[in-house]
Amino acid sequence: MPSRDKISVGATVKIVQKKDQRTGTLIEGKVKRVLTSSNAYPHGIKVELDGGKIGRVQYLM
């Protein structure tokens, strides 16, 4: 999982939403806001995508 310094606004990422953590369903989108303040987080950095969905970054595209 990428650290916060690698994730920027406008970057294309794949996230997992809280409701999908058990299934691991990923959603792709562009970062609108980075919500996690620390540089590293074990479950992924939390972001908001352009479409309003919020989740933790699993992959940086």
Q: Give a three-class secondary structure readout of 26-55.
A: EEEEEEEEECCCCCCCCCCCEEEECCCCEE
Distance CA 40, CA 23 (A): 23
What span, in angstroms and rounded, lies between the C-alpha atoms of 41 and 36? 8
Give the pLDDT confidence of 3-38 residue by residue, as tens digits: 999 999 999 999 999 999 999 999 999 999 999 999
For 42-56, what is each residue's pLDDT tens digit?
999 999 999 999 999
Domains and CATH numbers, the chain: 4-60 (2.30.30)
Residue 54 carries which side chain, given as an amino acid letter? I
Residues 45, 4: Cα–Cα separation, whole Å: 6
Q: Is the pLDDT of residue 1 over 90?
A: no
Give the type of residue at 22. R
Q: What is the pTM of this model?
A: 0.93
